[in-house]
Structures are given as structure tokens and as C-alpha cells.
Amino acid sequence: MQPDSIAAIVAQWKRERPDLDTSPMLVVGRLFRLTRALDQQLRPPFAAAGLGSGDFDLLAALRRTGEPYTLSAGELSRTVLVTTGAITKRVDRLESRGLVARTVDEADSRGRLITLTSEGVALTDELIAVHLDNQRRLLTGLDATEQAQLAHLLERLAVTQPAGEV
């Protein structure tokens, strides 16, 4: 197996600055590179469905809440980890396509609830199956035990981060 580009970078730094421990780059650098590569592999089905960046995340957040597939903008913001302003833009796009609908929150007339429409449910159900197939395909380089180990290690790393949840 040939060394990857991160290993080559680490080797260069070891040669130039042997006084530094460059081993964190082997993890963090690879995570960054993998994130970009995985994103490029996972995005095409969403783009083919006419969804912009983050639109599927919003649809999926609504779908996985269960019937009636409804959340407030604030709840969506906390679930998909973006600002309420970003949620508003996404909801505008998705509402114009008939995938979500806005209603007045009966508990707070100033608030709005966002609900997945039947068309939104159908599209989300179709895309989540494709998305999971793509994820499965991208992980074929690891057997089931290795995938479980990696998931566990990434979970441990995530909970140690200052943001609390990654």
C-alpha cells in the first residue's frame, strides 16, 4: 500500500522539523481530506434532485421526527446545526418546490412551524435510501468490525470537542 498524501506531508515535516510531533496530522489531515472527498461523492443525488447545499439535511430532520413531520425554525436550527437565517433560506427554497409548508404555531402566533409535505416525504424517503447505499459503498474498504471500531473512535473524539457535539 502506497502512503497517502498526508503521510507524505508528515514525512516532509519530520525531515524539516524533527523536533515536532507531527502525528496529529495523520488523523486530522486525513479527516479533512476524507470529509471533502466523501462530500463530493455523496452530493450528486441531491443535486440531481434539484436540492441545494443543506436542503436534504433539513428534509431529513423533518422526516426523522415522525408524523406530523413538523418542527419550528429554532428546533430545525439546533438539529441541523445552522443559524435560523440559513433555515429560513432553505425553507424558502423547499416551500417554493412544495416540499415543505409553513404554518402559524398555535402556541405562539409569532412563531412558524415547518412541516414536510407528502411530496417532501416521498422525495426524502427516496433520497435517504440512495444516500445510505452511497455511504455503504464508500465504506467497503473496511469490514463490519473495522467500521464499528471507527464509528466508536469517532464518537469518542467528537464528545471531547469544545462544541460538545460534532
Q: What is the pLDDT of residues 25-36, one digit of tens each?
A: 999 999 999 999
Tens of pLDDT, residue by residue over 87-135, are: 999 999 999 999 999 998 777 777 789 999 999 999 999 999 999 999 9
pLDDT for position 163: 62
Crossing angle for the helix pair 5-16 and 23-42, to the nearest 10 degrees = 150
| Beta strand 100-105 pairing with 70-72 | unpaired
User: What's the rounded Cα separation, in Å, for the pair 166 and 73?
Assistant: 20
Name every residue whose Cβ is closer than 8 Å to that of residue 142 and which is 6 or more positions away in sequence: 150
Domain 52-160: state its class.
Answer: mainly alpha
User: What's the rounded Cα separation, in Å, for the pair 55 and 46?
Assistant: 8
pLDDT for position 18: 97
pLDDT-derived band at 1, boundaries 50, 70, 90: very low
C-alpha cell at 7: 503521510
Cβ–Cβ < 8 Å for 131, 42 = yes
Tens of pLDDT, residue by residue over 38-64, are: 999 999 999 999 998 799 999 999 999
Residue 71's nearest CA partner among 142, 126, 57, 125 is 57
Helix (H, G, I), strand (E, B) or coil at 17: coil
Q: Residue 111's Cα: distance from chain center in Å? A: 26
Each domain of the chain, given as residue ranges in start order, spans: 52-160
Instruction: State the average pLDDT over residues 133-141.
Output: 96
The owner of cell 435560523 is: 84
Name every residue whose Cβ is closer than 8 Å to that of residue 20 and which is 6 or more positions away in sequence: 13
